[in-house]
């Protein structure tokens, strides 16, 4: 009988922890809901490595609170022993995109060298940062770039996107506009531009709220442009994970 005691104690301890966690989650949701009626809907409450501190997931945003929901903590959770940014790691996981599932047929494609390394960009033709990043990418070797036209800046962005997509050579039209400032020819006649609507829907689904937005092969997404050095470093990290 004695040899079963440790297993029984462990099972009871585990059950107690689960029960406590459930009670804490209930208290957190109740107190925050009552005290902060305008607080966004909490999608998930989960424990953190810090006793008494819970993570609040709201979409892809991460906040923290105590076991009673008495305080809301906004900031980065750093594990000092390994120097790991736990908040960043969690957000990266929440916002990761399955690269293999992206509809690359709806993207403008160009490559340099072998094209072995792959990068997806959501870009608006009127985005200044996108233009600067497009120029910076010319310094990166052996890359294939897939650009999803994502006209969210208003003005004539939708028209420019359609003109580029419907051009006889969409890649040439895109690069001439982004690199040289040569406006794409106006699209005349019939053109299947449904890809632009699909891109917009996909961007909203993934909560792409600005351009450029980058997606690497390992699913990591980066809001905003990066330096050539940062892109090269991320390519190395992506290949290491793969």
pLDDT in tens, 58-108: 988 999 999 999 999 999 999 999 999 999 899 888 888 999 999 999 999
Q: Does the pLDDT of residue 16 top 60, yes or no?
A: no
Q: Does the pLDDT of residue 20 top 80, yes or no?
A: no
User: What span, in angstroms and rounded, lies between the C-alpha atoms of 138 and 165?
Assistant: 21
Taking residues 183-206, what's their average pLDDT?
90
Q: Does the pLDDT of residue 227 top 80, yes or no?
A: yes
Q: Does the pLDDT of residue 162 top 50, yes or no?
A: yes
Query: In a 3-state reduction of DSSP, which class is residue 69?
Result: coil
User: What span, in angstroms and rounded, lies between the C-alpha atoms of 126 and 142?
Assistant: 27
Span of 2-6, 21-25, 147-151 with lowest mean pLDDT: 2-6
Taking residues 177-190, what's their average pLDDT?
89
Domains of the chain in start order, with CATH, are 2-95 (3.10.450.70), 99-241 (3.40.30.10)
How confident is the prediction for the chain on average, in pLDDT? 90
Q: Which residue has the higher pLDDT, 42 or 60?
A: 42
Taking residues 128-156, what's their average pLDDT?
96
Span of 10-24, 124-138, 173-187, 195-209 with lowest mean pLDDT: 10-24
Band (234; pLDDT cuts 50, 70, 90): very high
Instruction: Give the model's pLDDT for residue 96.
Output: 85
Of 58, 104, 52, the residue nearest 215 (C-alpha): 104
Taking residues 107-134, what's their average pLDDT?
97
- Non-local CB neighbours of 171 within 8 Å, separated by 6+ positions: 108, 109, 110
Instruction: Give the model's pLDDT for residue 207.
Output: 85
Q: Where are the beta strands (DSSP E) in the chain?
A: 44-47, 53-58, 61-66, 72-73, 78-79, 84-85, 108-112, 117-123, 143-149, 213-216, 221-223
Contact 217, 99 (CB under 8 A): yes
Taking residues 99-118, what's their average pLDDT?
96
pTM: 0.74
Band (22; pLDDT cuts 50, 70, 90): confident
User: What span, in angstroms and rounded, lies between the C-alpha atoms of 81 and 77?
Assistant: 12
């Amino acid at each position: 009988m004695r040899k079963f005691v440790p297993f029984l104690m462990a099972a009871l301890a585990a059950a107690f922890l689960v029960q406590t966690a459930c009670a804490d989650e209930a208290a957190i949701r109740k107190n925050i809901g009552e005290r902060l009626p305008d607080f966004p809907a909490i999608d998930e409450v989960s424990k953190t490595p810090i006793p008494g501190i819970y993570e609040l997931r709201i979409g892809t945003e991460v906040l923290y609170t105590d076991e009673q929901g008495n305080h809301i903590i906004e900031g980065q959770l750093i594990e000092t022993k390994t120097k790991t940014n736990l908040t960043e790691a969690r957000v990266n996981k929440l916002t990761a995109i399955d690269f293999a599932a992206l509809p690359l047929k709806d993207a403008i494609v160009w490559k340099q060298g072998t094209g072995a390394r792959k990068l997806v960009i959501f870009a608006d033709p009127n985005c200044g940062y996108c233009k600067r990043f497009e120029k910076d990418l010319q310094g990166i070797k052996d890359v294939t770039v897939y650009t999803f036209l994502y006209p969210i800046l208003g003005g004539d962005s939708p028209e420019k996107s359609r003109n580029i997509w419907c051009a006889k050579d969409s890649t040439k039209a895109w690069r001439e506009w982004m690199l040289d400032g040569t406006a794409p020819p106006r699209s005349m006649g019939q053109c299947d531009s449904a890809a632009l609507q699909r891109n917009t829907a996909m961007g909203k689904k993934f909560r792409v709220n600005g351009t450029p937005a980058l997606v690497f092969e390992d699913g990591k997404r980066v809001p905003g442009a990066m330096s050539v050095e940062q892109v090269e470093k991320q390519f190395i990290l992506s290949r290491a994970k793969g």
